[in-house]
Every structure is written in C-alpha cells, then in structure tokens.
Structure 1
Amino acid sequence: MSTSCGNPAVEKDAEMTRRPKFDRSKQCVKCKEQRGNIVIRHAVYCKQCFFPLIVTRFKKTLEPVVNPKPDGPRKKALKANGSLVIGFSGGLGSSVLLDLVSKTYFSGPPTTTKENGQMRGGAAHPKNRTGADSGVWKGKPAVCYVELASVIPEGKDKTEEVRKTVQRYSASDGFEFEFVPLRIEDAFDDTWWARFGGIDLSTAARSYGADIADELLPLSEIPSSSSTPYTPVQALQTYLSYLPTPTAKESAIQTLTRLLLLHVSASRDASHLLLGTSLTTLSVNLIAGISQGAGFSVSEESFEEWSYPTIQRADSPSIEKTRPSKVRIVRPLRDIGIKECGFWMWWSGLPLVGEKRLSSGRQSIVSLTRDFIMGLEQDYPSTEWKAQISIRSYTDETFAAAGHPLPPHLEDFPPAPTSSVDPPPHIASRLCYACHTTLTSRSSRGNPGRDGLSNVVPLPTWSRASLDVSGVSITRKLGEKEMMSQIQDYLLEE
C-alpha cells in the first residue's frame, strides 16, 4: 500500500503489457519484408502490396453485382446484361475509379500467370480478356460528366479538361471510353429530355410548377414576364434561388446530378452505373442524409437497383408500356478511404481535374458533416467503416422527384387538410420527407429575394413527366381569349 496520495506501489512485472499496434511497426503486414509506406486502419502496407490490396477491395465490391443473378457456390464468368456508365466528377474518388476500371477490365495486363510465364486458362479465359475483347459489359463503356458551372459563382467550365483525362485511357488497340458531357441545367431542358428521357411532355404539366409557399406543393401555372418561357439555365437558377437554405441547395444539386446520370444510363441500356464514392464520402452522405430526413433510403447510398419505366412516345403507334430497364448503382470504392485514393493518385502519377462544390461555407449540414468526418479520418479511421456497414433498409417503390425508394404509409404525409373542399392537384404525396423538406423548410434568416414574387418554381423534366404518366389532372384559369374561343359557337349574333 502507498503511504502518500500518489500512485500505489506495485511490482513492475505486474503491469499489463500493452498490445502492440500495427501502425507502430515499420514492416508491411502483408509481405513482412518491405518497409511500410502507408497506414490503413492501423495496418502498415508497403507500396508494392498497396496496389493489390486496393484492387482486391475494388473487385470484391463490384464483381458480386455484375451478373444479373447472384452467383452460386461456384463463381461464374462475369457477364452483365447491359452496358457500363461511369459517373465522373473530377474528384479523387471518380479519378481512381476510372483508373481501376480501365486497368482491371479493359486495358490491364493478365493477372493470372504460371511459373513459365503463360496465361493460366489460355487467352480466351474471361480473366485474361482485356481491351475491346473484354466481354463483361455489352457495347462501348461511357464516362458521363455533369458540368456545374451554371450554379457556382465564377465557375470555370472543365468539360474539355475532363475529356482529355478520359482520352488518356485509350488503348493501343483502338479501345476508348465514350465521353458523354452533360450540364446541370439539362434537368430543366425539354430538348435534352426528349433525347435521353423517352417520354413526351405533351400534357399540361409542361408549363406548370409547384407552389412552395404551400406545404401540399399544389401545381400552378408558372408566371412569365414575357412571351418566351424560361431557358434551362433560368429555370435552374430560379429553382435554386427559391430554396430556403444552403443545405437545401446542396441537396438539390446532388439529386439533379444523380438523376441526370441515371437517365443517361437508362438511355444507353446500361446495366451498371459506377460512382466514385469513397468510404469517406459515403460516411458524409450517410450522416448528412439522416440529418435531412432521408434515413429511410440510406441503404441506397451503398447499393441501389433503379427501375426506369420506359413509356412509348405520344406519336408512337403502340401505346403499350415496354418492359422497365434496371440500372444498378454501384459504389466500388465504398471500402476505400480518401487517403488511400490520394496515395493511388500520387503513386500512379495521375492528373486531378478537381471537383466543383457549391461554396456554402459552414452554413450547410453537408459542409459541417464533411469537416466532422475528415477529422475522424485522421484520428479514428475505423469509425468511417463502422458507419458504412451500419446501413440497413429495404424498399420497393420510388419517388417522383428524387427517384429514391418510397416508404410505406406515405399517404399519411403530409397530413390531409380538414376542410371538406377537395384540395387542388399537388405533388406532396409523391415526395419523400427529405425532398419535401428541401422545398418547404423555412430559413431562420428568411428569404428576402422572394418578397413580392410568385412562389411557383419550375420542376425538373422527370418530375413533370412522372406527373403526366400518373395521370395527375391539372386545372388552371383560362384567359379571356381562350374562353371566347371555347364558347364562340354558342354565342348569339347581335
């Protein structure tokens, strides 16, 4: 026992030996020969073992969902039932994803060899087929980039920089990725929708928007100060300017980008849309989504199978619906952190275009969550992985605006009005809680830019198309000339 207020006197041998941590060793835990160069979740890896580790994690996430049906006990050859689309933002994750896909499935060397240098299984083996002969996906793979210069102040158009980055992966045998450039304002462009969407906007929903001053979001005619309608850029800027908070604007841009990529994928008969969402970004999206009321669909941040209902055009002789196509949204880098992506880019000598973000400072939930997760990446790297594997949910229907799963009992939200008068046509019942909050939440600082103006905002093309298809009736007040044209046959001559 100790006779003072200090620590008790104990024997030196009685102290518990600390468990050694891998990051305190200089040797690689994989080969146990080379000096380590990077620490990943408290484990040290050398540069030579780092690349096979990342490729293994990448393939472990992607390949189980390539075939239309899950493989049985014995792994079958990889054969998708559609083409491939890669979403490219110019950031770390999408740059690493493009490099991994190119080297692994299209232009990389055979990975399986015997001691004598011959390919195991022969040149015709699926694992050894590369370049244009790689038979995993049908057709020509595409890289899709969405330009955000229209929503970022003083934003620079980086479409040509991205095009040059994609062209770097052209193989010597003539293989190359097809580059599909998009712009964020295409979400409000009827011409773009006719080219990629496949549903004719022939009914009254073409000129209608949602009144965000009412929680039911009733459909109303969009006022116009001139005879010409909104241009796509004007419609986009009007839509974003009416959103109440920086969080709502960031969420809206993310949703518009996601739906643009999905509709392009569906137009190309793609079976897979690959996104370069790293473990760090996935954790940010998960926590930020829950904070914004999207907890029901958080599982879609990891893997999603999106059904696109293809409808015949109005001028088509057949009015029957064609079979829906399904696009699998896969994030193959969900087990790879942002630090690993940075080391892959550095050691591979790859150029970085840079990802564009809306400058909201620390005023949005997404920005605050990103700062929080980046701190965990530095001090507690295993926490991100625990957040990612905690995703649990299942769904079977979709929303009109975001295309996310539809939760049960949606008809109970928002509450029905107590008046006996039938409410006007509205879209609130076709939105998830997160999208409804994005449009109707109120900022504590108010929205001075809306004073004296109409609260009717334009809707994206797919939202208007879904209202057309679902048969939502829309009423509006007729003008004097329209009324006269309808009743002129019944007027008596003076």
Structure 2
Amino acid sequence: MASCGNPDVEADASMTKRPKYDRNKTCVKCKLQTGNIVIRHAVYCKDCFFPLMSLRFRRTLEPHINPNPQQHRRKGLKASGNLLIGLSGGLGSSVLLDLIQKTYLSPRERQQGDQNPNGITCPWSKIFVVYVDISGIMIGAPDKSSPVEQFVKRHSTTMEYIRVKLEDAFDQTRSPGLRKILLKVLSSSTCSPLVSLKTYIESLPTQTAISSAIQALIRVLLLHTAALTHSSHLLLGTSLTSLSISLISSISQGGGYSIREETQEEWTYRNQDNIEQIVRVIRPLCDVGMKECAFWAWWCGLKVVGKHRYSGGRQDIGALTRDFIMGLEKDYPSTVSTIARTCNKLTTKGGTSMKCLICQRPAQSGTQDWKQNISIRSYSDINPEDVPPGHVNLASRASDDLPPSNPHSIASSMCYACHTSWTSKSIRGRITKQTDIPLPVWLKISSSISEERRQITMESMRNTIDDFLLDSDS
C-alpha cells in the first residue's frame, strides 16, 4: 500500500513552494539594479517600472484615438472630438488622470519607439473630468465632490471639472442638452429627482440588482455627459484586477451577451443636427494590475481621495466576486490576466441592432419570451389579472389563444441581465407595492421615440391604403 508520506519526517514528501520571482532579485529589464516590485513573477526596478507603465498605457489607448485606427502610426494622433475622463476618486481613475497629465499635457522628450510622431502634442482640443456623486443614496456618506475637484485642479489647470449627481438621471429640468440631442421628454414627474432615485432603487428585488442598477446609471450618465461635451473618447480607470472582477460578475448575472463591451465599446448617438456620432469607451489600464497602480500612486505621491462603493452585503454577487478574485490573486498573480484574456476571446453568434433601454448595451431579442418558456412557475405566482392556463379554467385552450406579449413594452427592449435583475426573486420575500416606478430620463425618451415611431407607422399605413377603403355611407 502506497503512503503519502510524512512531511515532518521525510523531506521529499512535501511540494516545494514556488518563489515569488522566477530567477533572481535583479531587474529583468536593465539587468543591473536590484528589483523593487514583482509583477507576475517578474522583477522590475523603480527606474524601469515607470516606462513599463507608460508603455502599457499608451499601447492600449493610442491605437483607438484616431477615427481610423490604422492611421495612428503614419499621421500622428488627432481625435475627432474632446476627451472625457471618468473620475471616481479611486485608485485606478487617479492613476489614469496622472498618466494623461504626464503623457500628453506635460512637456517631455520623445522616447525611442514613440507611436506619436508629433511628440508632446495633445490629441484632444479640450479635456473634461466628470465625477458622479452617489452620496444621495448612501446614508451618512460624506460629499467628496470638493476633494475630487481639488485633486483635479492640483494636477492640471487645463482640465475642466464637471460634477454630476446620480439623481440627475431622473431630473428632466437639469438635462436640457439631453433633450436637444434625443427628443423632448413627453412625460413629467412631480417627485423630486432624489425621491425618484430612491424609489427606483427600492423597487429592485435583490441587493445584487441594486448594485448593478447603480453601476448602469453611472455608466449611462457618463455616456450622455460625453455627448453633451462633444467628446469622442470616454476614458475609465478600470485596472486589470477590476476588469476581471467586472467580467466574472457580469457573466454571473447574465450579461454574457455584452461581455466584449466590458473591455471596450462604441456608443452611438445623434447630435442636434441629427448626425450620428460615436463615443469610444476605452479602459487604458486594462493591462495594468491594481498592485502596479498602487505602486505608481505611492512613488508619485498621489493622494487618492477614495470612491463611494455601495455595500450590498454578503449576498451581493459583485462583493463575493471581488473577495474571491482579490484573495486568489495573492497566491496566483496570473489569475486576473488569464480571466481577461479568456473573456476577450468570447464572441456572440451574429450581431444585433437592438440596445437595452436601461444599460444601453447590445441586447438579444426575444429575451422575455425565452425566459417564459424555460421558467417553472407555481399557481401562486399568477396574478388575478393574468389569463390562467387552460386546465385551471376547466376548459382546454390552445397556447395560440393566449394574448401575446406587447412588443412595445419596456420588458421586450431589455437585455437578459437587466430583465433578470428586475424579475429575480428575493430570498427575503421583498415585494414591490408601488405601481408607478420612476424611470431614468433616457428610458422615458426611448419609450417616447418607440411610441412616436409606432404612431407614424400606423399613419403611413393608413395613407397607403386610403384609396382602397370604402366610405361609411356606402
């Protein structure tokens, strides 16, 4: 009978632990100085660390600055619009702001292998920094807009600071530019934006749905702010660690259809002249881990303000995913890069022109009908107003006789992840008693557009067959 061995007695019985670095303590870049940081089992000194960070940052960002990605090497860098930086006050966004300042706004010498032939010229005419304040829905949370504004002004005087509140998503009076870009809002609400926001959040069934809804509101607010500032690029300070957490959390909540948009996406809108414009959402730090960002902030003396994070409790999928990956990264540093590379290979079967009304991401049509076909329901879940099955009425009814779902409803224009968030069953038995749930401004606008298009279609159909209809007198 074979024995596993006793590690206390036999020296060869236990497996040797892999060292933190592969070879030695010397920097793998210059091979002269002693290393100061270990990045994925590779040792780098402090002098080689800063060029490595700048190279990874520019290699991810610069190919997407020009309207045509193939021209960034031959004709330099020149964007078609302004730049909007999403600053949350956290570590990644603070490092991103510092990299933008030192790379494109501060005088520097042209380095060997620089992809920008114009040297230190800035590709954007104006640079805006936007901060989304979510302290309105967090009890006892301090307002960090002033420290964030001081952080921006301390870095650069050429950047323009913009503050946006999360409740602005429900404020029709403070979004005049949004109505000019899309369509005038036809519906109105008597409640204040903050009350509407709290009602909207309280209507969600689970803590995971609340966290996902807050992230979706922040993201769409940033997109509309980019449209109002005529920005062609929206930069987010998502590090490689945060990206891996977002990827796993999104897949766990049913967002696999739009997994490519977690890394990079292009949001399309129409301006005041009804011309289609594109905002490229880029995460330049998607190849830089949270550890490297922390070392950059420490060695550069950045005072990170810190961002608000909604605490969904222990049952929140996002919090559970964050704790799992952060704990796994300590012993296996290549975990986050493996997750990002694997998810980058995923593609959907065919394209779609449909966008979710809530998160504004590509959505797969027929989500509501598909979920109804695979759902197992009990008779207690049936509302009195719904049509019960045939055997409950004691009379057989064919499935074709049941009323079809409304194709112009909001549920039919939602992606699978948002639809699941609204229809998830809470383990605490949380039931929404309110019939009228306030909607974000862009969702009301989209509903108005769909209703107007449907009316125009009916009128055009009436005019087409008007010559073939008989009068009522005849």
TM-score by length of 1: 0.78
1:296 to 257, 274, 282: 257
Alignment of 1:36-435 (within 5 A): 36-71=35-70, 75-112=74-111, 126-129=117-120, 134-137=121-124, 139-170=125-156, 175-198=157-180, 199-203=182-186, 205-207=187-189, 229-310=190-271, 322-391=274-343, 392-393=346-347, 395-397=351-353, 398-410=355-367, 412-415=369-372, 420-421=402-403, 426-435=409-418
For the residues of structure 2 that align with 1:439 and 1:410, how far apart are their CA atoms? Answer: 13
Cα offset for 1:430?
A: 0.3
1:457 alignment partner, SS class: coil
Higher deviation after alignment, 90-99 or 412-421: 412-421
- In structure 2, relative to structure 1, the CA distance for the partners of 1:47 and 1:399 (3 Å cut) is same
Contact 1:84-1:272 at 8 Å conserved across structures? yes
Paired amino acid for 1:344:
W
Paired amino acid for 1:434:
A
Cα offset for 1:151?
A: 1.4
Cα offset for 1:201?
A: 3.6
For the residues of structure 1 that align with 2:204 and 2:71, how far apart are their CA atoms? Answer: 48
Contact 1:166-1:179 at 8 Å conserved across structures? yes
2:441 to 461, 467, 484: 461
Paired amino acid for 1:152:
M
- In structure 2, relative to structure 1, the CA distance for the partners of 1:73 and 1:249 (3 Å cut) is closer
2:138 alignment partner, SS class: coil
Cα offset for 1:74?
A: 5.1
For the residues of structure 2 that align with 1:4 and 1:97, how far apart are their CA atoms? Answer: 54
- In structure 2, relative to structure 1, the CA distance for the partners of 1:80 and 1:420 (3 Å cut) is same
Contact 2:200-2:438 at 8 Å conserved across structures? yes
Query: What's the CA shift string for 1:378-422, capped at 9, x where partnerless?
Result: 111111101111222354532111110122555744549955446
Q: What does residue 480 of structure 1 align with? A: none
Q: What does residue 460 of structure 2 align with? A: none
Query: What's the CA shift string for 1:63-92, capped at 9, x where partnerless?
Result: 111111121695430111111000000000
For the residues of structure 2 that align with 1:250 and 1:455, how far apart are their CA atoms? Answer: 22
Contact 2:37-2:44 at 8 Å conserved across structures? yes
Paired amino acid for 1:443:
S
Contact 1:35-1:46 at 8 Å conserved across structures? yes
Report the identity percentage: 47
For the residues of structure 1 that align with 2:341 and 2:4, how far apart are their CA atoms? Answer: 47
1:76 alignment partner, SS class: coil
Query: What's the CA shift string for 1:343-389, capped at 9, x where partnerless?
Result: 00000001110011112231200000000110122111111101111
For the residues of structure 2 that align with 1:378 and 1:152, how far apart are their CA atoms? Answer: 31
For the residues of structure 1 that align with 2:289 and 2:364, how far apart are their CA atoms? Answer: 31
- In structure 2, relative to structure 1, the CA distance for the partners of 1:274 and 1:235 (3 Å cut) is same
Structure with the larger RCO, 1 or 2 (CA within 8 Å, 6+ apart): 1
- In structure 2, relative to structure 1, the CA distance for the partners of 1:473 and 1:109 (3 Å cut) is closer
For the residues of structure 2 that align with 1:31 and 1:5, how far apart are their CA atoms? Answer: 44
Contact 1:303-1:330 at 8 Å conserved across structures? yes
For the residues of structure 1 that align with 2:209 and 2:451, how far apart are their CA atoms? Answer: 29
For the residues of structure 2 that align with 1:6 and 1:349, how far apart are their CA atoms? Answer: 51
For the residues of structure 2 that align with 1:261 and 1:433, how far apart are their CA atoms? Answer: 22
Contact 2:73-2:117 at 8 Å conserved across structures? no
Paired amino acid for 1:156:
P
2:279 alignment partner, SS class: strand
Cα offset for 1:444?
A: 1.2
- In structure 2, relative to structure 1, the CA distance for the partners of 1:72 and 1:88 (3 Å cut) is closer
Contact 1:206-1:464 at 8 Å conserved across structures? no
Paired amino acid for 2:275:
R
Q: What does residue 492 of structure 1 align with? A: none
Contact 1:303-1:329 at 8 Å conserved across structures? yes
Q: What does residue 424 of structure 2 align with? A: 441
Higher deviation after alignment, 87-96 or 192-201: 192-201
Q: Could you list the runs of 5+ residues in structure 2 that have no partner in the other structure?
A: 7-15, 374-386, 388-398, 456-474
Contact 2:185-2:444 at 8 Å conserved across structures? no
- In structure 2, relative to structure 1, the CA distance for the partners of 1:406 and 1:423 (3 Å cut) is closer
- In structure 2, relative to structure 1, the CA distance for the partners of 1:389 and 1:420 (3 Å cut) is same
Query: What's the CA shift string for 1:260-292, capped at 9, x where partnerless?
Result: 000000111111000000001000100000000
Paired amino acid for 1:69:
N
Query: What's the CA shift string for 1:307-342, capped at 9, x where partnerless?
Result: 0134x6xxxxxxxx7111100000000011111110
Cα offset for 1:197?
A: 4.6
- In structure 2, relative to structure 1, the CA distance for the partners of 1:413 and 1:18 (3 Å cut) is closer
- In structure 2, relative to structure 1, the CA distance for the partners of 1:20 and 1:166 (3 Å cut) is closer
Contact 1:110-1:127 at 8 Å conserved across structures? no
Contact 1:414-1:429 at 8 Å conserved across structures? no
Query: What's the CA shift string for 1:101-135, capped at 9, x where partnerless?
Result: 11101124223389xxxxx99xxx85423xxxx34
Contact 2:364-2:416 at 8 Å conserved across structures? no
TM-score by length of 2: 0.81
- Which of structure 1's runs of 4+ aligned residues deviate more than 6 A? 3-7, 17-21, 472-475
Q: What does residue 24 of structure 2 align with? A: 25
For the residues of structure 2 that align with 1:474 and 1:75, how far apart are their CA atoms? Answer: 47
Paired amino acid for 1:461:
V
Q: Could you list the runs of 5+ residues in structure 1 that have no partner in the other structure?
A: 8-16, 115-119, 208-228, 313-320, 476-494
RMSD of aligned alpha carbons: 3.0
Paired amino acid for 2:247:
L
Higher deviation after alignment, 244-253 or 464-473: 464-473
Query: What's the CA shift string for 1:234-282, capped at 9, x where partnerless?
Result: 0000000111111001000000000000000011111100000000100
Query: Aligned residues, how many?
Result: 415
